[in-house]
Amino acid sequence: MSRAIVVFESLWGNTEKVARAVADGLAESMDVEVLDVSTQPSPPSDDVDLLVAGGPTHAFSMTRPRTRADARSQGATQGCEGPGLREWLDELPSGRHHQRVATFDTRVGKARHLPGSAAKSAGKEARRHGYETVTRQSFWVRDVAGPLFDGELERATAWGRDLAVRMGEPAR
């Protein structure tokens, strides 16, 4: 059976909810482990086939120490101190990897047409380290602190199912 890990960064709890919903969809046909990036998980082992990485979009990209501090000053209670997704991805070993990567982010819905996203930036970073990226997805929150728009968790679960199906397809 294929194995996946879902690594997430969450400041308000919305991205964690999405990560767990994606994992629920994947778990219907894969072994899945969900890891909070603040626990500083190890890079994916060779028995992992799919790495799913997600975080909130801040300033058109993945969070930085400054944007995490800003979130904390606005009341965020999770993952504001220590490394975020950007730092974790930057520490991945470089070289050719057999694992495929899918990325996602949470974004404020009233700004749907702004350029840049954490998912896009995370995908670029994964490719820079030699991973094949297969897809990316954004999930929408009503405001900086959320909540998620209605139906987003169901959409995340469906995306997880689709990722599992894609894993059955040959790599490009």
Q: Residue 109 falls within a domain, yes or no?
A: yes
Q: What are phi and psi of 17, to 5 degrees?
A: -60, -45
Is 127's pLDDT higher than 90? yes
3-state SS, residue 131: coil
- Predicted TM-score (pTM) of the model is 0.95
Count of residues making up the chain:
172
* CATH code at position 47: 3.40.50.360
Residue 171 has pLDDT above 60, yes or no: no
Give domain status of residue 172, yes or no: no
* Number of Cβ atoms within 10 Å of the Cβ of 35: 18
User: Quick one: pLDDT at residue 114?
Assistant: 76
> How buried is residue 151: exposed, middle or buried, by Cβ count under 10 Å (0-12/13-18/19+)?
exposed
Q: What are the tokens at 28?
A: 């219907």
CA distance 104 to 96: 22
Range of the domain at 103: 3-167
Q: pLDDT digit string (tens) for 76-103?
A: 988 878 899 999 999 999 999 999 999 9
How much is the average pLDDT of 11-37? 97
Is 54 within the bounds of a domain?
Answer: yes
Number of domains the chain is built from: 1
